[in-house]
Amino acid sequence: MNLTLRIWRQPGPDSEGAMTTYEVSGISPDMSFLEMLDTLNEDLIERGDEPVAFDHDCREGICGACGMVINGDAHGPERTTTCQLHMRHFTDGETIDVEPWRAAAFPVVKDLVVDRSAFDRIIGAGGYVTVATGSAPEAHATPVAKPAADTAFEHAECIGCGACVAACPNGSAMLFTSAKVVHLASLPQGAPERETRVLDMVGTMDDEGFGGCTNTGMCTTVCPKGIPMSSITTMNREFLRATRKGGGSR
């Protein structure tokens, strides 16, 4: 396959950025999108040019690091992570636009790399449970009902890639935050921080500059792990419950 790539290049967070055009050839349909970018970077390095910076780690669809907007879609035309997107989903001679996540809370660091540490601060605000110190508790000491366990597992699948934010016209982080809140609120182990968790995490989300949710649903269409829209509804319910009880540090 021969492709034309138009890639966002930005030397640093305080620099001007622009789309730059590259031609790549000999691309196998079985390559992943990141392997195709590796091929481009090898060519750039051989020519003495600066390679394109992009985030990646596991390349197995687990870590959520490889976020980028491809032809206007977060992670590209398939509902998967960029590292699991294969070139067979594109056609020979196609022009592909590649951009970083576009959100005020995700500032560009370089080229396609953005700073997603805002997610870490949301997690730090309440993404934990209280446990007794000392010897490990018996595995079955706290029974968990099957429906609660299923809900917790469904929401624990969120990998924090940020596609939901990138796809949302408001740059909202509601789907990410709700996945973390609902995961722990579904379990008896999460009960001690139930009120403080949702108030503090939502408060931190707002402080980080993410936009508000207007229920467009774009977040769920690109989520590679299929976190449902009902997650946001549940978090809103948890927030109202916590507000009525007067919980939280805010």
174-183 pLDDT, tens digit per residue, is: 999 999 999 9
Which pLDDT value is given to residue 142? Answer: 84
Please name the residues in contact with 95: beta carbons below 8 A apart, sequence gap of 6 or more: 3, 4, 5, 6
Q: Please provide the distance, in angstroms rounded to a whole number, between the alpha carbons at the two ends of the chain.
A: 55
Residues 191, 88, single domain; the answer is: no
Residue 21 has pLDDT above 60, yes or no: yes
Which pLDDT value is given to residue 81? Answer: 97
| Within a domain: 205 | yes
Question: Tell me: the pLDDT tens digits for 166-213?
Answer: 999 999 999 999 999 999 999 999 999 999 999 999 999 999 999 999
Residues 122, 219, single domain; the answer is: yes
| Within a domain: 9 | yes
Residues 125, 183, single domain; the answer is: yes
Residues 233, 121, single domain; the answer is: yes
Residue 120 has pLDDT above 90, yes or no: yes
| Within a domain: 24 | yes
Please name the residues in contact with 51: beta carbons below 8 A apart, sequence gap of 6 or more: 40, 41, 44, 45
Residue 249 has pLDDT above 60, yes or no: no
pTM for the whole structure? 0.93
Residue 250 to residue 248: CA distance in whole angstroms: 6
| Within a domain: 250 | no
Among 68, 93, 110, the domain-final residue is 110
User: Average pLDDT, whole number, for the chain?
Assistant: 95
Closest alpha carbon to 28 in 114, 96, 118, 92:
92
Question: Tell me: the pLDDT tens digits for 134-172?
Answer: 777 776 788 899 999 999 999 999 999 999 999 999 999
Which pLDDT value is given to residue 199? Answer: 97
Residues 60, 77, single domain; the answer is: yes
Question: Tell me: the pLDDT tens digits for 82-110?
Answer: 999 999 999 999 999 999 999 999 999 99
Residue 162 to residue 49: CA distance in whole angstroms: 29
Question: Tell me: the pLDDT tens digits for 25-57?
Answer: 999 999 999 999 999 999 999 999 999 999 999
Percent of the chain clearing pLDDT 90 (strictly above)? 91
Which pLDDT value is given to residue 135? Answer: 78
Residue 33 to residue 188: CA distance in whole angstroms: 41
**Inter-residue contact 21 to 81 (CB < 8 Å):** no
Residue 198 to residue 178: CA distance in whole angstroms: 9
Task: Collapse the DSSP code of 211 into the 3-class scheme (helix H, G, I; strand E, B; otherwise coil) and give the result.
Answer: strand
**Inter-residue contact 19 to 6 (CB < 8 Å):** yes
* Count of structural domains within the chain: 2
Which pLDDT value is given to residue 247? Answer: 57
Residues 122, 102, single domain; the answer is: no
Task: Compute the Cα dihedral for 15, 120, 238, 246 and give only its sign.
Answer: negative
Residue 17 to residue 2: CA distance in whole angstroms: 25
Q: Beta strand pairing status for 95-99 and 3-9?
A: parallel
Neighbouring C-alpha atoms within 13 Å toward the C-beta of 94: 14
Q: Which domain holds residue 195?
A: 117-245
Q: Beta strand pairing status for 95-99 and 69-70?
A: antiparallel
Among 93, 110, 127, the domain-final residue is 110
Among 60, 88, 110, the domain-final residue is 110
